[in-house]
Structures are given as C-alpha cells and as structure tokens.
Amino acid sequence: MQREDLYYKTVDLLLDAYNSNQLEHGSCTKCAVGNLCNNKTYWSQLFMTSKGFNGKLEQEFYEDAYTKSIKKDLLKITGYTWKELAEIEWAFESSIENTEEGYSYYRNTDVKKGQFIGLTAVLNLLKEIHQVDKEVSEEKQLKLESIYNSKLQEV
C-alpha cells in the first residue's frame, strides 16, 4: 500500500464526516475535498465541480500565478496533490449524477443514500490511489455500510 497512514487518516476523516452529518454534495466546505481541507474553500480556486449551462455536471480548472501556492498548500494540508483532490472531488460529486434518480434527488430527498453513493465512489478511488489490498478496502466499505444502516434505523 502506498502512503498507508494517509489512506487510513483520509478514510477515517470521511467516515466521521458522514457519521456526523458533515458530508454534503454541492458544498465546498462539506464535500469530500472540503472535509479533507478542514472545511475551508480555498481549494475551489483551483478546481470546482458544478452544473454547467447545459445542466450537466462538469469540472472546471483554474490556473494563474496565485494557484501555484495553493497547490503547495493543499499537498501540505491534505497529503494529496491537487490532481488527486480533483479526482476525489469528481468521484464524490459525479457519483450521483449518473444514477436513475439523479443529482437533485440525492441532494434534496434521499441525502443519506446520496452521501453513501458518493463516499463509496471515493473509497473506490482511494483504493486505486493508495493501491490498497482488497481486504482492507472491503473492511472500510463494510464500516461505511454499517454507518449507513444505523442512519436508516434513526429515521
């Protein structure tokens, strides 16, 4: 596994955010990357995922002299390159876009399930980024499913 400590730290942080209702699609401070960046929005000056004029989800990237320092700060704060963070952002936000119910449904009606779908996509991406063993990734997915099921029982 590559950057093992970072993998566990990231997954635990995101699972805690999900469990404490601090994970939210469409929020720069509460999305997967927002949580990794201590609920700050400065990362959105590099890239952002949002609905375009055509109504489809798209990712925009920004580049200027100022963004170079942000890239270095992101690596220090999160342990991830800005490109890895952009992939995490896309995995989380786009995961519910292509479902039968769609983005709006999971942002407004079945929020917990939408967050579950998004976080599952992020866990799958982190498995690739960190080259995680199948057993470890399955363990984390089971933990997410356990949290999700307990949330369903609260309703």
Tokens found for residue 33: 């990357």
Q: Is 98 or 8 the better-scoring residue by pLDDT?
A: 8
Q: How many CA within 13 A on the CB side of residue 49?
A: 22
- The whole-number pLDDT of residue 68 equals 83
Q: How many domains does the chain have?
A: 1
pLDDT bracket for residue 56 (50, 70, 90): confident
Q: What is the pLDDT of residue 102?
A: 72
Residue-wise pLDDT for 59-112, tens only, equals 999 887 678 888 989 999 999 999 999 999 999 999 987 666 776 777 767 888
The residue-averaged pLDDT of 39-66 equals 85
Spell out the SS3 assignment of 12-53: HHHHHHHHCCCCCCCCCCCCHHHHHCCCCCHHHHCEEEEECC
Q: Which domain holds residue 108?
A: 4-154
Decide if pLDDT at 33 tops 90: yes
